[in-house]
Chains A and B, each alone.
Chain A
Amino acid sequence: SQQGEEDPQALSIQEGENATMNCSYKTSINNLQWYRQNSGRGLVHLILIRSNEREKHSGRLRVTLDTSKKSSSLLITASRAADTASYFCATDAIQGAQKLVFGQGTRLTINP
């Protein structure tokens, strides 16, 4: 089964609002990453958070990690129409650490 599971599967909000997506995983990890995908093509790396970090920021992105709950969240503040995309979390497990395992993704739609 997939290591990472995103929630919700789909999210639709108005431009300017904040968007929050969640990711849960099953095994102990070295780090967790978030990627973005436009129109079903290649993914683009957004941010990486290590297992000893609890929060990380990059521009309008804020990622949290709770290793006790095996979960992470991605917050996009002041959303824009251009943020419309699918967002995936990926985990780098301690065992089999070289293999990144992706979740099913959250489809985010920003309405102008």
Chain B
Amino acid sequence: GAGVSQSPSNKVTEKGKDVELRCDPISGHTALYWYRQRLGQGLEFLIYFQGNSAPDKSGLPSDRFSAERTGESVSTLTIQRTQQEDSAVYLCASSFWRPGANVLTFGAGSRLTVL
């Protein structure tokens, strides 16, 4: 597609429910990233996928968080048993990774509110 597409744009859920956030990267982009941004804060790295390599999951805050990517296509971020502190904007980005010139294109984000 022309850009990185994320859905849903807004999600309100009750504490304890599971949520799935979807990211459609730019076609041909080999790398895909998930970040979390709490209100007024910076971007917190969650997970990174690059081609067929094992993903870098070092930023996932707990085992309630998981993510999958189908080949070099769609990615889904799943949060199980949501907590109020999970409320944030979840940003997805993709890139055609090149050494020393890895420029990210971001989606508009999915705003998650946990009541």
Contact = CB atoms under 8 A, between A and B. Distances in A.
Contacts of A2: 42
A98 B104 contact: no
Contact of B109 (A30, A42, A96, A97): A42
Q: Is the interface of B mostly helix, strand, loop or mixed?
A: loop
A48 B103 contact: yes
Interface in A65-112: 88, 90, 92, 96-105
A33 interface: yes
Given A40-B89, A48-B101, A98 B109 contact: no
A2 B43 CA distance: 9
Contact of A100 (B39, B99, B104): B104
Contact of A102 (B42, B89, B107, B109): B42
B100 A43 contact: no
Interface string B78-111: 0000000000010101000101111111111100
Chain B interface size band reads 20 to 34
Q: Is the interface of A mostly helix, strand, loop or mixed?
A: strand
B102 A88 contact: no
B108 A42 contact: yes
Interface of A: 2, 30-31, 33, 35, 40-45, 48, 50, 88, 90, 92, 96-105
Interface of B: 4, 31, 33, 35, 37, 39, 41-43, 45, 48, 50, 56, 58, 89, 91, 93, 97, 99-109
10 contacts: A35-B104, A42-B91, A42-B107, A42-B109, A43-B91, A45-B104, A92-B102, A97-B99, A98-B31, A100-B33
The 8 A-B residue pairs with the shortest CB-CB distance, nearest first, are A42-B106, A104-B42, A102-B43, A43-B106, A42-B108, A30-B100, A41-B108, A45-B103
